[in-house]
Amino acid sequence: MKGVVLAGGTGSRLFPLTKITNKHLLPIYDRPMIYYPIQTLVDAGIQDIMIVTGGRNSGDFLRLLVNGKQFGLKHINYTYQEGEGGIADALALAEHFADGHKICVVLGDNIIERNIWEAAERFRKQPRGAHILLKEVQDAERFGVAEVTGGRITGIEEKPIRPKSNYAVTGIYMYDASVFDKIKTLVPSKRGELEITDVNNAYIREGTMAFSFLEGWWTDAGTFESLLRAANLVAQSRTREGIPAGAIGSAVEGVAQI
C-alpha cells in the first residue's frame, strides 16, 4: 500500500498566518504540521509516500522534507495541485503514483494520538473497496458525518446542519485503485470542488465501504481554535510520557514518532 498526504489549499481560515506560508508548514507544538500525517503513514508500515501540495510556497516542502530521511524513508514523491479543486481533485493527481496499488490518504492537517496500524492491516486484507476511520465527536456538524446502521455505513453527509450521528469521518481514507475512476465521474459541488464525501458515498452504494473507529484523540488543525487544540494535545501527550519538546528519536505512540 502506498501513502498520499494532501497538503494543498490556501489555508484561508488561518489568514494572516498563511499569508506567506502554506498552512501545513505551520508549527504544531515543536514540529511542522506536515510531519504528523507523514508519521501516521510511516507508523502504518507505509514507505512509499507522495505529498500533494500547491500555492506559492510549494518549494518549501522540498527544503523541509528533502528525501524523508528524518522519517526513515529513502525517498518522498511530490506533485503540484493548481488552484482550489477540492480533496478529490488533489487525490486525482496521485493516480500515476498509485500505479494500481491500494492507497492510504491522510489530510495534511489531521493529527492523531495513536496509530492506524490495525486499520491498515485490515484494509490490506480487504479484497476491494475502501476503509475509512470514524471518531465520535461533539461538533459533528464541522465534518462529514457517517450514518451507521447494523454495523455498516449507509451514507455520509457533508457538514450537516442536523447531524444524523456524532460519527465524524476523519481525514484518513484507504482506497483501492478504482478510486480514480470514481473521481472521474464526479461533478463539482456548490462550492466548486470535487468532494471526497461523494467518493466515499460511491463506495457505500457499491457495498464495499468498511470502517474502523479511531482510538485516542484526533483533531484537524485548519482553524485558529483547532490549531491551538492540536498543539495543546501534542504537548500534553509528550508531557505525560516524559518526552521533552524537540526530542528526536523517541516519542509518544502515534504522535510523530521520529
pLDDT in tens, 224-247: 999 999 999 999 999 888 877 876
Mean pLDDT of the chain: 92
Cα separation, 25 vs 231, in Å, equals 14
Q: What is the pLDDT of residue 83?
A: 76
Q: What is the pLDDT of residue 252?
A: 36
3-state secondary structure of 162: coil
- Tell me which residue of 48, 47, 26, 44 sits closest to 35, measured CA to CA: 26
Q: What is the pLDDT of residue 94?
A: 98
H helical segments located in 126-248: 179-184, 196-206, 224-240
Q: What is the pLDDT of residue 248?
A: 55
Pick the CATH number of 2-240 from 3.30.590.20, 1.10.3720.10, 3.10.50.30, 3.90.550.10: 3.90.550.10
pLDDT digits (tens, 9 = 90+) for 114-130: 999 999 999 999 999 99
Asked if 53 contacts 78 with a C-beta cutoff of 8 angstroms, the reply is yes
pLDDT digits (tens, 9 = 90+) for 172-193: 999 999 999 999 999 999 888 9
If pLDDT is split at 50, 70 and 90, which confidence band does 253 have?
very low
| Alpha-carbon radius of gyration of the chain | 17
Least confident of 46-50, 149-153, 221-225, 250-254: 250-254
Q: What is the pLDDT of residue 164?
A: 93
Instruction: Tell me the whole-structure pTM to 2 decimals.
Output: 0.93
Q: What is the pLDDT of residue 192?
A: 86
pLDDT digits (tens, 9 = 90+) for 188-214: 998 889 999 999 999 999 999 999 999
